[in-house]
Structure 1
């Protein structure tokens, strides 16, 4: 009975026939959704819900030509959520695979062994998501950071790594993916075997041993060149800057040494930076070496390092 009553009130509200008390109650109820966290849905789930909403409201639109106000549209969405919430919950929480999130701290390198026999090494300040059940799907997501993969081959279940706009697929190989959120340049470097790298909305590139793909986030372009093995030195405790922008350098120094680099000088921001630093160095000492190589000076306040001429 209560469900039928609610449906009747919502229908009257949509048609503009509800009383002031009912209308105010529904308005307040809908506004409360602004403070509720909404679970993210995949593109497929969003499309399925969009189609079902349309199938529910289209007959009403054909029967009655009603000029909906903003609140009416909001209420229509709210009604659908009320009636289909159980289905949506099932889709999100039952159909989607369960994942475990693993992170490495600032300055930490972490090696983990997966259930399928593959081995992963995380660079400093990295976050990855791994499926709890790898017997059905081997799809990992690099949320932030850099990871070296030594993959155990299994032709029946390809090993897939999602890193923002790049999707790397392998059967059995060793490769490195650098995908720090705050760094413009991403890369996939193959040290053994072969991988396919698919760009979002674009074609795929096949990389073999000693090849690397570099992706420019800003320009959305990719190039394939011979691998620069010095960039893999992080596994041996070396942070490498190779023609890095100031902003990219700031991210890597923070991830490796916990320092926040800043400057008020435009010329310093426009400079490109190239150097190698041992990650075992004292953080301030590392900043001093970086500054000296580029003829700069530093001022240290806590964890903040200001660069100047």
Structure 2
């Protein structure tokens, strides 16, 4: 669609003469925005005048219709001016993708078209946007990437972009956790801003500070692939997240001493959820009280 065509469509829309299908596209596109444009009164008036001077002065439009559509046309005009026509066209025709989701306690193994194998941990959401390109929206994935010197394999996880040609590595990117991590099992990977990670190296990125540190890979961090949940000196909040992801249970506490405790344990993900909570609590000299919706841990 050319710029001239888009301008003509917006002109027809403002005049109430756009075809029903095209009007629907503009309506849906405009309504998809969750935030206001926060225009000043002066900006709104300037936009109205600039748009209206391109419209035939003899045409009369119902006042209520004009006010309704002018706001939308103003939004269109601002966004086209600031982001370009490409943005509009992309919003009009969203990119296609494949999304894979695992529920709490569920793990999946997926083989991609290029032969790459993904082991997806519980409570994860990944989005495959193109050949050898995907994003981890939430969760943890182990990658065994099929080598292809002609095309790199790229993974987006929050602010980190990991690029490889053929290797195996693990990325932890649960939204509820403070850290992201990239651990290399074989070969090498490139992470934006941090260079090359070699075999048995790991990058831990703090989402709160925006800083990362490269260290040795903790092999225990890969045990989830073998049906184990290993907690190694983690905070109460991190323990709660991992118990929910692996067992589907919500753990709470109302004592500061319990919330300040660091948690270390090894649990089989095949355990019954309440039993897993009992074992976790007992190791740390704590007790539990289970209700329908949650488990209270107390001292």
Contact 1:106 1:255 in 2 (8 A): yes
Q: Are residues 1:92 and 2:87 paired?
A: no
- The 2-side partners of 1:151 and 1:82 are apart by 39
1:139 to 133, 139, 161: 133
RMSD after superposition: 3.6
**Corresponding residue of 1:242:** 232
**What do the CA deviations read for 1:9-58 (whole angstroms, capped 9, x no partner)?**
9xxxxxxxxxxxxxxxxxxxxxx989933499xxxxxxxxxxxx9xx96x
Contact 2:134 2:155 in 1 (8 A): yes
1:224 to 200, 211, 214: 214
- Over 3 Å counting, the alpha-carbon distance change for 1:83 and 1:292 in structure 2 is closer
**Corresponding residue of 1:298:** 288
**What do the CA deviations read for 1:205-259 (whole angstroms, capped 9, x no partner)?**
3111111111111222211111100110000000111121111111110010011
Compute the displacement of 1:151 (Å): 0.3
Contact 1:233 1:239 in 2 (8 A): yes
TM-score with structure 2 setting the length: 0.75
Compute the displacement of 1:204 (Å): 2.3
**Equivalent residues in 2 for 1:115-264, closer than 5 Å:** 115-131=113-129, 133-134=130-131, 138-198=132-192, 203-264=193-254
TM-score with structure 1 setting the length: 0.72
- Over 3 Å counting, the alpha-carbon distance change for 1:76 and 1:108 in structure 2 is closer
- The 2-side partners of 1:183 and 1:229 are apart by 19
Indicate the SS of the match to 2:271.
coil
Structure 1 spans left out of the alignment, 5+ residues: 10-31, 41-52, 64-70
Structure 2 spans left out of the alignment, 5+ residues: 1-7, 17-26, 36-42, 54-67
Contact 1:258 1:303 in 2 (8 A): no
Aligned residues between the structures: 255
